[in-house]
Amino acid sequence: MQNSYISSRTISIVSSILLIGSSWVLPAPAAETLKSYYAHDVKQDSHGVIAPWNDGCNGPLDERLRIAVEVMKRYPWVDRPKAVVAAPDFVYNSHWSIKSDGTILIPPTNDWMCGDLSQRAWSIVKGMTDYYAYSGDPVAFTYIPITADYILEFAQTPKDAPWPSFPIATPTRGKAYGKCDPNARNQLDLCAIVGTEFLRAYRLTGDKRYLDAARHWGDVFAEKCRFDPSIPPWSRYVDPSVVGWSDELTGSITLILAFLDDLISLGHTGKDDAIVRARDTGRKYISEVLLPKWLKNDTWGRNYWDWDNPVICGIVSMCGDYIMANPQAFPTWKTDLRNVLTLIINRNGTDPNSHGDMYHGAWAFPESCTCCGTSLSYNQYTAAPTLLRYAHLAHDPRIFEIGRRMIIMACYDADEKGVVKDGLFGKTVATGEWSNLAHPWPLCQIMEAIKWTPQTLSPRSENHIIRTTSVVQSVVYAKGRIEYKLFDAPNETITVLRLSFKPDSISADEQDLTCLSELDKVGYLKKPLDAGDYLVTIRHDGKPHVVITGPDPQTQVDDRDLEKSGNWQQMGRDDAWNKSLSISSLVGAAQSINFTGNQVRVIGSVDTQGGRAEVYLDGEKQLTLIDCWSPLARDQQVLYSHSGLPNKKHELKIVVCGTGNPRSEGTNVYIDAIQYSDRTAECDFGAGGGPREPQRMIFGYPKNRDYIDSKGQAWRPATEWVIRSGYGRDTVKRAWWTDRRSIHIGSTKDEELYRYGAHGREFWINLTVAPGKYRVTLHFASTPSHTFLERNSKGRPIDRTVDVEINDKPIINKMNITKEAGGTFRALKKTIENVAPANGAIEIRLKGCDDQGAALQALEVVPMK
């Protein structure tokens, strides 16, 4: 480890190892840990697994959301003449810095820092759309139209360009804060992301300009599609001459397909169904060309705009999201994605300087084998939500636990002031310069993670829309009444909510819905959770407007009952709480309340006259702003929220600034009500979880389908292991035997287990498991090649001599595989019993005792009764 950050190992008092034939009984285990990760000292659950750093019953994900949103709300704006239109600075570029007290600074920038425009748009539009549904905070209607309008007006190619009126998704040329130069490295998969987010913005706002632009872009994609099955349907760039590297587009073709699917779902299929044909061509290429070569390094690379990126990287998660959204087109998606999504662990732990590994049971690794050092939280945010989605759809507890731990550890990256330390050892690596990686991207990905973990990682004793198959255009979270409206409600429209109460009634388009035992028709399911919470799943085909009522335990105080100072006027408003609210534009005018609870929300209105206010909690000024400006009036919206508070007496105070953002026509602050609750719940976010079923894997196994042994047991390719083959090195080429080394293997009925293998001077396997005792069986075989490199000076096959440790305890000492097996091409099994996990994992480490290195063919871990 680096400098003073020395890895510690949990050492237990052990007895000696008892050798019985070829079976050992393992004493208490040990596993690698650090004292802190990113920005926080570590907290662990009773099993030694990573646990949330915060103590609130809102949990780590909600806490990280609040920090991200508060940073974005206080982000500096830029206006004319520096910028073409007034907007938060993050709309134009990712260049930022933040002081330890939370002050945000915008350094002098250049066009290069504007180059992640498409990725920022993705974070802003997708993240804020989901956040609005989840929170009722109307800030989405500030940032999303500004971002989309900037692209629409200043980031498209000319009408007469080869790709006409097309998004400039990666503008690395042009006037910073101004019009983008189309002669840039415009990458097509990222152009498709812009299209997808325009359609999302259309669904949220109803602005048809976004739909019209996206339709045209889809038509261009269809026109440019190649139908030769031997090559990708599209190249990587609009104009490949602007870069000096490969123009091949690989797995991120799925991003284009997702955009085309989105258009098709809105009824736009192109001339003579050209968009459908292009989509189908892309799906066929994924199925028939890319998935069969899932082990090839760049099959899932070449996505990031600022480098060649010919290696597997975080984009594999987005590829997986598309495949999971279309299982009918990819019938073997479960095994395909299980392999591909976990392969990134092996691929990206190769650089010794990155320290990619498992820590307190959580996998952490950089975005690729060539980037970006110890910046390990970024790829956790990228990978974890897709793993959780896969686990939900495939009912896979192992993948769920990998994702759960990963996203909890990722949330260690930000402190209360909004400073993000993405370096494993408490330093900033990428987030110190790139604001998108610091807050908008985590916001986007945390919202995605919450969708698939409503029972485990969503807040307790609160009310939230967790997931919906459409887009929420409006939502009101009032006491005892939740009302929302979707953009549309086609067949099998589903909305999932976590509520702090048992619903009394649920209606859709004023029709009462029935509580069902199975959601095979319009109606709803309700599942009781801890502390009086309910998980509610509603099916409301053809009925976008839903109202839920029930005995909400929170308190809601009308603005009339708040303590006021300064000039406030009462204004009637039909859609406000009790049909009126307070309004003031006077600097220093204030409203306050004393309450007892662990969560609080300010309810108010927004419109084109809206202004800003500051928030004080227990006398401390909060690092955020209330902004009542919005291009469209909305009532009973959540202007400020803070959960996870100590459950005690608090004072909340709102103070009018007398200013508005540069787009506002006024400075009005509208206060309608205050909500709070003192109901507590146990802060259990999945402790003690993990797979309890057997795990069997073959090292070097190249097939994307499991091997079924003579007992009918399934063996998967081994991917959750680390070998430090070096910066940028291809672990599959260097450390996997993917070609059969022999057809005949003696002493076994299952020869296929021993025909491949992993090899290297030292490597280790980290298996995610539930608490308990396990039987670990290692499968070896001496399978020398006939090549000169694998023979000694006398022309004889090389014997490999290995040491094996499990959870830091020596198990096998200088074992000659050939001699122990009784010769070459013979199976050898070594079984270790009563293995208990350390920090939620079993680490098996193999070391070569000579220059030949270690090798392993297969491994199985089986729970003991």
Element (H, E) at 380: helix 377-394
Question: How confident is the model at residue 8, as a pLDDT?
Answer: 26
Confidence of residue 164 (pLDDT cuts 50, 70, 90): very high
Alpha helices in 25-176 (DSSP H): 59-73, 117-135, 140-154
Confidence of residue 672 (pLDDT cuts 50, 70, 90): very high
User: What's the rounded Cα separation, in Å, for the pair 238 and 161?
Assistant: 10
Residue 594, pLDDT > 80, answer: yes
Mean pLDDT along residues 342-358: 95
Mean pLDDT along residues 319-326: 97
Confidence of residue 278 (pLDDT cuts 50, 70, 90): very high
Question: How confident is the model at residue 785, as a pLDDT?
Answer: 74
Mean pLDDT along residues 54-63: 96
Question: What letter represents residue 807's amino acid?
Answer: N
Question: What letter represents residue 328's amino acid?
Answer: Q
CA proximity to 399, closest of 458, 326, 332, 340: 340
How many residues belong to the chain? Answer: 865
Q: Answer yes or no: are the C-beta atoms of 692 and 407 closer than 8 Å.
A: no
CA proximity to 526, closest of 550, 546, 497, 554: 497
Residue labelled with tokens 């009722």: 136
Residue 795, pLDDT > 90, answer: no
CA proximity to 197, closest of 148, 163, 242, 244: 148
Question: How would you classify residue 11: left for phi > 0, otherwise alpha for psi between -120 and 50, otherwise beta?
Answer: beta
CA angle 484, 489, 490 (to 5 degrees): 170
Question: How confident is the model at residue 484, as a pLDDT?
Answer: 98
Confidence of residue 791 (pLDDT cuts 50, 70, 90): low
User: What's the rounded Cα separation, in Å, for the pair 629 and 609?
Assistant: 6
Mean pLDDT along residues 162-167: 98
Residue 845, pLDDT > 70, answer: yes
Confidence of residue 181 (pLDDT cuts 50, 70, 90): very high
Question: How confident is the model at residue 315, as a pLDDT?
Answer: 82
Could you report the per-residue pLDDT of 571-587, keeping only the tens digit for each?
A: 999 999 999 999 999 99
Residue labelled with tokens 């180059």: 115
* Cβ contacts of 128 within 8 Å, gap of 6 or more: 139, 140, 143, 144, 443
Confidence of residue 5 (pLDDT cuts 50, 70, 90): very low
Question: How confident is the model at residue 796, as a pLDDT?
Answer: 60
Question: How confident is the model at residue 314, as a pLDDT?
Answer: 82
Residue 10, pLDDT > 80, answer: no
CA proximity to 383, closest of 397, 370, 364: 364
DSSP states along 519-546: -SSSEEEEEE-GGG-EEEEEE-TT--EE
Residue 553, pLDDT > 50, answer: yes
Question: How confident is the model at residue 31, as a pLDDT?
Answer: 52
Confidence of residue 27 (pLDDT cuts 50, 70, 90): very low
Could you report the per-residue pLDDT of 715-767, keeping only the tens digit for each?
A: 999 999 999 999 999 999 999 999 999 999 999 999 999 999 999 999 999 99
Residue predicted with more confidence, 358 or 17: 358
Say which range, 1-15, 222-236, 273-287, 629-643, has the weakest mean pLDDT. Answer: 1-15
CA 735, chain centre distance (Å): 29
Confidence of residue 17 (pLDDT cuts 50, 70, 90): very low
Q: Which residues pair with 678 in a beta bridge?
A: none
Could you report the per-residue pLDDT of 432-479, keeping only the tens digit for each?
A: 999 999 999 999 999 999 999 999 999 999 999 999 999 999 999 999
CA distances 188 to 138, 217, 221, 575, Å, are 31, 11, 9, 44
Share the mean pLDDT of the chain. Answer: 93
Say which range, 14-28, 57-71, 624-638, has the weakest mean pLDDT. Answer: 14-28
Confidence of residue 865 (pLDDT cuts 50, 70, 90): confident
Residue 596, pLDDT > 70, answer: yes
Question: How confident is the model at residue 7, as a pLDDT?
Answer: 27
